[in-house]
Structure 1
Amino acid sequence: MRTVLLPGISAALIVRDEAGFIEDCLLSLVGVVDEIVLVDTGSRDDTLTIAGKYQIRIEHFSWCNDFSAARNYALSCARHEWILYIDADERFYVPDETAFRAALADRKKAAWKLRLHPRLNWTAYSELRIFRNDARIRFEGEIHERVHPSVNAVCAADGVSIGVCNVAIQHVGYEADQTYKLARNIPLLQAYLAREPSRVYCWWHLGEQFRLAGNEDAARAAWQSGVAAVRAQSVAQTETSDSMVFSALIISRHQAGLPIDELLDQALQLFPSQLTLQWMAGKYALERNETDTARDIFSRLAAIKGDIFFDEQIAYDRALFTHTVQESLALTEFRAGHFALAAWHYRQAANTSPDANALQIKASLAAAKALRTA
């Protein structure tokens, strides 16, 4: 007989050696969700000691190189009608508790998307993180596990839908050292991609892991496989986030002195609204001294307000819309001989850049050159 679920929402976490992150995660959940289920997969640090200070459920699961298996065990432990899945290096934000609870009372919804900021000072994208506590909804995939296929199946079977709610998650883990995960992630990704070669994001992640390991050739090979996977898709299957393999491969090839023009042109055809690709097109146009083309691209990016910008499918470093593009505009105007305008853009870049002193020096040099050529 099926257990009667309690009203409200359970947060489900799987953790291992997360002593540096777990407390802030729990603090963001306590008093906001109705239950916290923490499943430990073999911590040897103080994770469980820290977690034990809070009124949460602590369960244990033997790690078997399968993230879905661990997550699905956590789901099976949850006792409330809704589940939020979250990681230790993430923090949960609910700006309007009343609106959030009203969303959870909506019987026409099987799941909710929220806004996920993947890094500090980045914009957000939509991520399905809240769904009904339903035995039909389970994760699949050993790494970069997915729940949306089973959510979509429930929606189709029950005539319900996925909504969008005004809550957010901030991910902070990428700012920490990631190299200790390489020995786990690389073989997991390789084994998974051998069976599921169409997972573009996993090709991007495998390339990133090789890059962190110092193997740039293997990184480029992984990204090239991701590009091939995108090319094999129909246009309807292609998502903006698939552009990440193109961006990574273009940057790597350019740094290695390899041709990029054809690859960049194809990327822009597939993803015309992808802003990082647009900035790259401006950067490489400037390298060819095509200042008018570069200026047009950079000016469009500078007009975007990064503090409120939102793209449902992909996140951006907010620096792209502030000091990165202002410095690009400064260099464009300097090469065009507009030294006073270059100085102005360098000063604008200095307002938000962590390298403000260097930019102020460049502004002064450009201003001095403007006086000499006046």
Structure 2
Amino acid sequence: MIVKNEAASIGRCLDSVKNIVNEIVIVDTGSSDNTLEICKTFDAQVFSFPWNDSFAEARNFGLNHARGDWIMWLDADEQCTISDLKAFSEQLKQETELIYAVHLVNYIGKDTNPDHAFHITQPRLIRNHRGFKFINRIHETFDLTNAAPYLLNQNIPVISAVFHHYGYMDDVIYAKNKVHRNIALLQREISDQTHSPWMEYHLAVEYARLQYYEESFKFVNLSIARFVESQLMPPSLLYRLKYSVLIASGNLQPAQEGIEKALLLYPDYIDLHFYKALILYLMNQFDEALEQFEHCLAIGDQITSHLSLKGTGSFQAWYYKGLCYEQLGCPDKAADAYQKAADLSCGYEPAINALKKRHSDSATNRLFSDLLL
């Protein structure tokens, strides 16, 4: 791990792995709070590394101090949960595997609500002493080119572990000014002509967070183009961002025209199917939207290599079915859909509010009827 002033979260993180790992290697880049004191209570080895605006170099410094057969990397604002430690250990004994991904849950919003989270699988465990290094100044990732080139265009096997990431919840982003920090580092990164096309994508994400949709759209398209120029398939989450930006900025016609092409590339990506349905709904094509939301439910929520928002194949699709039924003059079907959305979620507010409004309207109508009588 690399840390700096993480006293608020580091204890929670290390407590989650203390019975899983054999050693804890901490690279500190200049903490001034009691982060290091907390780390030492977990018998962590702490090393200092002068911050040079490169997360990859700090991570690689830490790799040099790790002695175990396998290395798991985390951030201080994460927790690891493993429901079956025996199965986890058995997977690490597979001699043919060099790298594993985990199920990563990225929480967003004001509180830790499982309904407000993005899900994806992400490489987080590597076999030590096999040439793995981190690349990219920010949003660092493993360089597979030398260590495992055969995995460049393949799905990485998933191990039975879940990482919970809290670093992009509203209070954390505000407290650390993450967006502007990230933009500055990303702009430095893309000034290098040999940079990864991922950097334009990450820059587009940060601009989208600021609701600078024109800039976000420009950079996500640049990212797609640079992947193509590199003779690589643009990853699916680039198209998710592209169409979310078009929807958020009200450019529905080009979104409708383009999303079919994205679905040809990634026909199993539930979020793209959901966006197709949402575009139809926003364009007042309610019958077509209803059919598409039903298709989303048929696909269901899936944890895959695609970045997916919780509920696009379940409670969110049911909620929008309710909205469609409202517009089509079917209030009873709408109420049933809202109830289904509420039942499948952990208190999905839009559905609950829709049910409350319906009950309130019904009570008001009964009152008017009594007065007329």
TM over 0.5: yes
Write the distance in 1 (CA, Å) between the matches of 2:71 and 2:178: 27
Distance 1:64 1:130, change over 3 A: same
Structure 2 residue matching 1:118: 3-state secondary structure = strand
Alpha-carbon spacing, 1:188–1:315, altered in 2? closer, same or farther (3 Å): same
SS at match of 1:109: coil
Corresponding position of 1:246: 242
Backbone CA RMSD of aligned residues? 3.1
More deviation in 116-125 or 140-149? 116-125
Distance of 2:210 and 2:285 partners within structure 1: 36
- The percent identity for this pair of structures is 25
Segment drifting more, 258-267 vs 20-29:
258-267
Give the structure 2 partner of residue 173 of structure 1. Answer: 167
Number of aligned positions between the proteins: 351
C-alpha separation in 2, matches of 1:370 and 1:233: 63
Partner of 1:272: 267
TM-score by length of 2: 0.82
Deviation of residue 173 (structure 1)? 1.4
Instruction: List per-residue Cα deviations over 1:143-169 (Å, max 9, x = no partner).
Output: 22221415644779xxxx964322221
Structure-2 residue corresponding to 1:202: 199
Take 1:239 and 1:214, find their aligned partners in 2: how far apart are those partners? 22
Question: What is the CA-CA distance between 1:36 and the residue it aligns to?
Answer: 0.5
In structure 1, runs of 5+ residues without a counterpart are: 1-12
The Cα of 1:366 is off from its aligned counterpart by 7.8
Measured after TM superposition, the shift of residue 208 of structure 1 is 2.7
* Displacement of 1:357: 4.6
Find 1:65's aligned residue among 39, 53, 64: 53
Would you say the 8 A contact 1:138–1:150 is kept in 2? no
* Aligned counterparts, 1:70-81, within 5 A: 70-81=58-69
Go from structure 1 to structure 2 and tell me whether the alpha carbon gap of 1:361 and 1:197 turns closer, same or farther (over 3 Å shift).
Answer: farther
Matched with 1:137 is 132
Q: Which letter maps to 1:281? A: K
Alignment of 1:1-374 (within 5 A): 13-119=1-107, 121=114, 122=117, 124-134=119-129, 136-150=131-145, 152-153=147-148, 163-175=157-169, 176-179=171-174, 180-195=177-192, 199-213=196-210, 215-229=212-226, 232=229, 234=231, 237-254=233-250, 259-306=254-301, 309-311=302-304, 313-351=305-343, 352=345, 353-355=348-350, 357-364=352-359
* Separation in structure 2 between the aligned mates of residue 162 and residue 218 of structure 1, nearest angstrom: 32
Contact 2:244 2:275 in 1 (8 A): no
Contact 2:71 2:126 in 1 (8 A): yes
CA distance in 2, matches of 1:270, 1:348: 31
**Residue 370 of structure 1, CA deviation:** 11
Cα 1:364/1:140, change in 2 over 3 Å? same
What letter is aligned with 1:260? A
